[in-house]
Amino acid sequence: MTAQREATQLRDGSTELPGLEDLGVELGPTGRPVTEFPEPKTLRSHGPARIIALCNQKGGVGKTTTTISLGAALAAYGRRVLAIDFDPQGALSAGLGVPTHDVTTIYDLLLGSAKDVAAAIQTTGTPGLDVIPANIDLSAAEVHLVNEVAREQILARVLRQVAADYDVILIDCQPSLGLLTVNALTAAHGVLIPLECEYFALRGVALLVETIDKVRDRLNPAIELDGILATMYDPRTLHSREVLERVVEAFGDRVLETVINRTVKFPDASVAATPITEFAPDHHGADQYRQLARELVHRHAVA
Ligand code: ADP
Ligand code: MG
């Protein structure tokens, strides 16, 4: 629309203002103008880590994929990243190709049967991205910890030992709002909520936000919502676009501008136990996770 027509329209008393799109501004999938997030600056020194919990009690929404891909993207930008497998399924450990048996796991550290946190850390094939693994033992942790003193703060105490060595610690939560997730939220400075662009995406999010609010009230007053990440977005389907629109309506600016598209490259990368940024570095899925890393640095969610 030309400025001329715009002005005429307004003089005519039309209340319809031109949309940003009409003015030639390119809009992203969240309906906001597309931002080019700058390359993160090189860090002169490292740590202490900002701890981010990736949380959603719904399974299959992209928590583990985001932990791996974002962790690898941040590591490629020179950040020191520690990923915590906090799901007894051990998908994060598998996706990063590290062993989970005959090694110290996060379960041993929570229970106190292993005390040296640094010794539990494994390096991965991605320089700068380390992991503390988990296996099915972790499913017994809630039962074992329920009578502990300050049972919600155990993970926070564990991570304190190694926080100085990292710039960011990503906790890959299990799909539940039980004691383990409360431990993750208590340890965290921020929460990142991956949300699948599917029907019922919003179902349960109110309960998750309520849980975060309770943790803020009682255990961790400083916890922040770092953002809601729309995942498995398919720009070709009306359905996907409508779901994203609803999510933006509900959460506004808390929805990150970066959106992750649905692509089979992610399952392929996890079978190869390699982050997408290395498995298919030129694929748009890798681009989107690099953009997410830049957006989070830009928003000061990561140094
Ligand atoms: P969660 O940890 O929330 O359960 P995952 O990250 O394990 O979710 O993802 C569930 C499944 O979906 C996995 O098989 C994963 O490879 C796949 N997946 C994750 N993100 C995408 C995506 N953007 N597009 C297509 N498949 C994806
Ligand atoms: Mg998972």
> With b meaning 16 or more CB within 10 Å and e meaning fewer, what string describes 33-49?
eeeebeebeeeeeeeeb
Distance 91 CA to ligand 2 centre (A): 6
Tell me how far apart the alpha carbons of residues 69 and 283 are, in angstroms, rounded to a whole number: 13
Residue 263: closest CA among 242, 232, 238: 232
Q: Which atom of ligand 1 is nearest to the CA of 67?
A: 6
Residue 167: closest CA among 67, 302, 300, 270: 302
Give the pTM: 0.94
Tell me if residue 188 falls in helix, strand or coil: coil
Q: At what angle do helices 179-187 and 205-218 cross, to 10 degrees?
A: 60
Q: Which atom of ligand 1 is nearest to the CA of 264?
A: 25
Q: What helix, strand, coil percent values describe the chain, rounded to 5?
A: 40, 15, 40
Distance 84 CA to ligand 2 centre (A): 11
The closest ligand to the CA of 270 turns out to be 1
Helices (H), 122-222: 141-145, 154-160, 179-187, 205-218
Q: Determine contact, residues 111/141, Cβ cutoff 8 Å.
A: yes
Distance 77 CA to ligand 1 centre (A): 23
Q: Which atom of ligand 1 is nearest to the CA of 269?
A: 16
- Candidates 54, 57, 64, 65: which one to mutate for ligand 1, based on the most atoms within 8 Å of Cβ? 65
Q: So what's the pLDDT on residue 1? A: 41
Nearest CA to ligand 1 atom 24: 262
Q: Which residues of the chain have pLDDT under 70?
A: 1-16
Distance 173 CA to ligand 2 centre (A): 7
Q: Which atom of ligand 1 is nearest to the CA of 267?
A: 16
Q: So what's the pLDDT on residue 202? A: 87
Task: Write out residues with Cβ below 6 Å of ligand 1.
Answer: 59-65, 91, 175, 231-232, 260, 262-263, 266-267, 270
Q: Determine contact, residues 193/106, Cβ cutoff 8 Å.
A: no
Distance 187 CA to ligand 2 centre (A): 19
pLDDT digits (tens, 9 = 90+) for 43-60: 999 999 999 999 999 999
Nearest CA to ligand 1 atom 22: 262
Nearest CA to ligand 1 atom 4: 60
Q: Give phi and psi for 60, each to the nearest 5.
A: 70, 25
